[in-house]
C-alpha cells in the first residue's frame, strides 16, 4: 500500500495552487486528473484587479495579488519556466460619459492604485477608439497552458500524477484514513472545477457553471503589446497571435466550441478591430461559477477528511492561490475559514 498525506482530484488552477502549499511544506500527495474539464487550459489567463464593466474593485484584489504573484513567480523559478507576463490593459471608452465614469473611479481609495489617471489616445489604425482608453495598472497574463504542462511534467517526475479519472465509488472512507486502490491517505481535496457535479460527496454545492468560448486569431497588422478591453478582450500572446474572448453561456454545459459562440465573438470584435484577421483556434470550457460570486471552500459535513476547493468563477488566476492558502491553513492549522468562502454559508 502506498502512503501519502493527501490525494488531490483535478489538476487545474485550484489544484496546482493547493499542491504548492503542500510541496513547499514537504507534505506528500498524489494528483488525479482525467482531462474532463478544460477551464484552466482555455483561460486567457488575465489577471486584473478591476471589474472593467463597472469600474469597481475585484473582491479582495490586493490580498489576492499579494498572495498569487509570489506563488506563480516561485513556480517559474523552481520549474524553470516563464508564465507570468506583465501586461498593460487598456479599457476602450465608448463615450465621453464612460471617460467621466473612469476618472470618477480613479478617486476611490481602493481603485486608485489600479487605475491610471491619464487618458490614453489611440494611435493605432487597426483599432477604432475615438474616445481613447483608460489604463489598468498591475495587470498581467498568466500562461495557464504552460503552467499546467510544466506542473504535470513535474508531478510525473516525482511520481505524483495519476492521469486517470478518480472513481468516487472506489473510495473507502474509514474512521482514521481513506483508501483508494492501493493508496492510503489522510485527506482528500476535490478540485474538479465543474466536474464536481459528478462527485457524490460534494455535488450538492451550488455551483452553476458558465460556459466560455475564446478564439485565437492571427492579426499581423494589429501590432499591439497591450491588452484591449471593449465588448470583448484582445490579449496579445506571441507572433501576431491574440486571444479574443469570451462568451458567457449559462445553458450549455459542454466543452465543445460552437458556431454561435464564434460568430458572437467575431461580430463584437469587428465593432472595434479594423484590420484583417484569421481565426486559428477556437476553444471552450466551463467556468466554475457561483451565484454569490465567491469561492466554494470547506469540509464535508460528515466526513472530516474530505474537502472541496472550487467556485473560482471567472477569475481563477488571481483567486486560486488565495483560497488554496486559506484551505491549507484550515486543514493543517485549524484556522477558521472566512464565512464568505466557506461552503457552510449555503444549506444544501
Ligand atoms: C473561455 C474562458 C476564459 C477564461 N479566462 C480567464 C482569465 O482570463 N483569467 C482568469 O483568471 N480566469 C479565466 N477563466 C476562468 C478560469 O479558467 C477558472 O476560474 C479556473 O480555471 C478554474 O480552475 P479549477 O482548477 O477550479 O477548474 P478546472 O480548470 O475545470 O480544473 C478541474 C480539473 O479537474 C479534472 N477533473 C474533474 N473531474 C475529475 C475526476 N473525477 N477525476 C480526475 N480529474 C478530474 C479536470 O480534468 C480538470 O483538469 C476563463 C474561463 C474560460 C472558460
Could you tell me the maximum CA-CA distance found in the chain, to the nearest angstrom? 67
Is the peptide bond preceding residue 281 cis, with omega within 30 degrees of 0? no
Using alpha carbons only, give the angle 142, 145, 146 rounded to the nearest 5 degrees. 80
* Whether the predicted model's global pTM rises above the 0.85 cut: yes
Using the atom order of ligand 1, give the atom closest to the CA of residue 13: 25
CA 285 to ligand 1 center in whole angstroms:
7
- Say if ligand 1 is within 6 A of residue 312 CB: yes
Q: Residue 347: its pLDDT value, please? A: 76
CA 39 to ligand 1 center in whole angstroms:
3
What is the C-alpha separation between 233 and 43, in angstroms, rounded? 12
Q: Residue 143: its pLDDT value, please? A: 97
- Say if ligand 1 is within 6 A of residue 140 CB: no
pLDDT by 10s per residue, the chain, length 348: 999 999 999 999 999 999 999 999 999 999 999 999 999 999 999 999 999 888 888 999 999 999 999 999 999 999 999 999 999 999 999 999 999 999 999 999 889 889 999 999 999 999 999 999 999 999 999 999 999 999 999 999 999 999 999 999 999 999 889 999 999 999 999 999 999 999 999 999 999 999 999 999 999 999 999 999 999 999 999 999 999 999 999 999 999 999 999 999 999 999 999 999 999 999 999 999 999 999 999 999 999 999 999 999 999 999 999 999 999 999 999 999 999 999 999 976
- Say if ligand 1 is within 6 A of residue 35 CB: yes
User: Which distant-in-sequence residues (6+ apart) come within 8 Å of 20 by Cβ?
Assistant: 71, 74, 75, 321, 324
Helix (H, G, I), strand (E, B) or coil at 328: helix
User: Which distant-in-sequence residues (6+ apart) come within 8 Å of 280 by Cβ?
Assistant: 216, 217, 218, 241
CA 40 to ligand 1 center in whole angstroms:
4
CA 107 to ligand 1 center in whole angstroms:
35
What is the C-alpha separation between 271 and 127, in angstroms, rounded? 9
Q: Residue 348: its pLDDT value, please? A: 60
CA 28 to ligand 1 center in whole angstroms:
23
Q: Residue 189: its pLDDT value, please? A: 98
User: Which distant-in-sequence residues (6+ apart) come within 8 Å of 80 by Cβ?
Assistant: none
CA 14 to ligand 1 center in whole angstroms:
8
- Say if ligand 1 is within 6 A of residue 310 CB: yes
CA 10 to ligand 1 center in whole angstroms:
9
Grid coordinates of 290:
457561483
Residue whose Cα lies nearest atom 35 of ligand 1: it is 10
Grid coordinates of 231:
465588448
What is the C-alpha separation between 192 and 180, in angstroms, rounded? 17
Q: Residue 54: its pLDDT value, please? A: 82
- Say if ligand 1 is within 6 A of residue 37 CB: yes
Residue from 253, 314, 321 whose mutation best tests the ligand 1 pocket (most atoms within 8 A of CB): 314
CA 100 to ligand 1 center in whole angstroms:
36
CA-closest candidate to residue 139, choices 84, 209, 72: 84
Rg over CA atoms, the chain? 21
CA 113 to ligand 1 center in whole angstroms:
29
- Say if ligand 1 is within 6 A of residue 33 CB: yes
- Say if ligand 1 is within 6 A of residue 257 CB: no
Residue found under cell 450549455:
252
DSSP-assigned beta bridge partners for residue 327? none
Q: Give the N- to C-terminal CA distance of the chain in Å, as an integer.
A: 36
Q: Residue 175: its pLDDT value, please? A: 87
Torsion of CA 102, 103, 109, 115, to 10 degrees: 60
- Say if ligand 1 is within 6 A of residue 8 CB: no
Q: Are 110 and 56 in contact (CB under 8 A)?
A: no
Using the atom order of ligand 1, give the atom closest to the CA of residue 193: 27
What is the C-alpha separation between 217 and 202, in angstroms, rounded? 38
Residue whose Cα lies nearest atom 12 of ligand 1: it is 315
Where b means 16+ CB within 10 Å and e means fewer, 273-297 reads beeebeeeebbbbbbbbbeeebbbb
Residue whose Cα lies nearest atom 19 of ligand 1: it is 316
Amino acid at each position: 500500500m502506498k502512503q501519502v498525506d493527501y490525494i488531490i482530484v483535478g489538476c487545474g488552477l485550484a489544484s496546482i495552487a493547493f499542491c504548492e502549499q503542500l510541496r513547499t511544506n514537504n507534505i506528500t500527495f498524489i494528483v488525479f486528473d482525467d482531462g474532463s474539464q478544460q477551464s484552466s487550459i482555455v483561460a486567457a489567463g488575465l489577471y486584473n484587479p478591476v471589474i472593467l464593466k463597472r469600474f469597481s474593485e475585484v473582491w479582495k484584489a490586493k490580498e489576492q495579488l499579494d498572495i498569487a504573484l509570489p506563488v506563480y513567480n516561485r513556480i517559474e523559478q523552481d520549474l524553470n519556466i516563464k508564465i507570468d507576463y506583465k501586461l498593460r490593459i487598456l479599457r476602450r471608452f465608448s463615450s465621453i460619459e464612460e471617460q467621466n465614469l473612469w476618472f470618477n473611479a480613479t478617486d476611490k481609495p481602493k481603485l486608485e492604485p489600479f487605475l491610471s489617471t491619464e487618458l490614453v489616445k489611440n494611435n493605432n489604425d487597426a483599432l477604432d477608439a475615438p474616445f481613447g482608453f483608460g489604463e489598468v495598472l498591475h495587470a498581467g497574463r498568466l500562461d495557464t497552458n504552460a503552467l499546467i504542462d510544466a506542473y504535470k511534467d513535474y508531478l510525473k517526475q516525482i511520481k505524483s500524477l495519476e492521469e486517470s479519472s478518480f472513481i468516487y465509488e472506489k473510495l473507502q472512507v474509514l474512521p482514521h484514513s481513506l483508501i483508494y486502490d492501493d493508496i492510503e491517505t489522510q485527506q482528500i481535496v476535490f478540485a474538479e472545477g465543474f466536474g464536481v457535479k459528478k462527485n457524490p460527496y460534494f455535488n450538492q454545492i451550488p455551483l452553476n457553471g458558465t460556459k466560455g468560448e475564446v478564439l485565437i486569431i492571427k492579426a499581423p497588422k494589429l501590432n499591439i503589446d497591450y491588452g484591449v478591453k471593449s465588448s470583448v478582450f484582445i490579449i496579445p500572446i506571441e507572433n501576431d497571435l491574440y486571444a479574443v474572448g469570451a462568451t458567457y453561456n449559462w445553458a450549455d454545459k459542454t466543452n465543445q466550441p460552437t458556431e454561435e459562440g464564434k460568430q458572437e465573438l467575431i461580430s463584437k470584435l469587428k465593432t472595434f478591430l479594423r484590420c484583417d484577421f484569421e481565426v486559428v483556434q477556437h476553444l471552450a470550457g466551463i467556468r466554475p461559477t457561483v451565484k454569490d460570486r465567491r469561492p466554494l471552500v470547506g469540509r464535508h459535513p460528515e466526513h472530516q477528511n474530505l474537502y472541496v476547493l472550487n467556485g473560482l468563477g471567472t477569475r481563477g488566476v488571481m483567486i486560486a492561490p488565495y483560497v488554496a492558502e486559506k484551505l491549507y491553513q484550515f486543514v493543517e492549522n485549524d484556522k477558521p475559514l472566512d464565512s464568505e468562502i466557506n461552503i457552510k454559508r449555503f444549506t444544501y
